[in-house]
Amino acid sequence: MIKPQSFTPPIDTSQWPILLKNYDRLNVRTGHYTPIPSGYSPLKRPIPEYLKYGVINLDKPANPSSHEVVAWIKRLLQVKKTGHSGTLDPKVTGNLIVCIGRATRLVKSQQGAGKEYVCIARLHSAVPDVSKVGRALETLTGAVFQRPPLISAVKRQLRIRTIYESLRMILMLGRGRAYDHQGGGYCSWDC
């Protein structure tokens, strides 16, 4: 029978695999809360602290460019640095993530993320065979060659973008399209 001891023999973990190596020297946090002099409770955090590391999830209206909207935010909040997670064309409405202050470092991680677009189009007359529309949409899925528009912030060179999914939705006012594709793509050529 093994009897309890007050002395624990030392274990040499220096030769163990890399993730377990010297695990006995890890910084172990206790289960109780220790208040520290720096930092804030989220409910008591002052507004200037939010402006240092802020992210604004903005519904961009039609007509102003993404650059203009970000400049307005920069001027209104009186901050030094702002950045956005990807350009929306001026006529396009949608979600624009604006990072403030030190949060601008997060912009690069969002720019390459996939984006989803919805296009609304009105047809002049009814489509006689709806299955043809579905087959036409299938051709727009996969790798697509695109060139940015004449007025664009990026270099106008032919590039390949992947459209992961193209859905057809029938809306109350007309026909709609939904795209799920790689960041940096343009859907204005199809609307």
* 89: annotated active-site residue: yes
Token pair listed for 85:
């997670």
Distance CA 145, CA 89 (A): 19
Active-site position among 12, 24, 59, 89:
89
Token pair listed for 119:
């296009």
User: Mind telling me the catalytic residues?
Assistant: 89
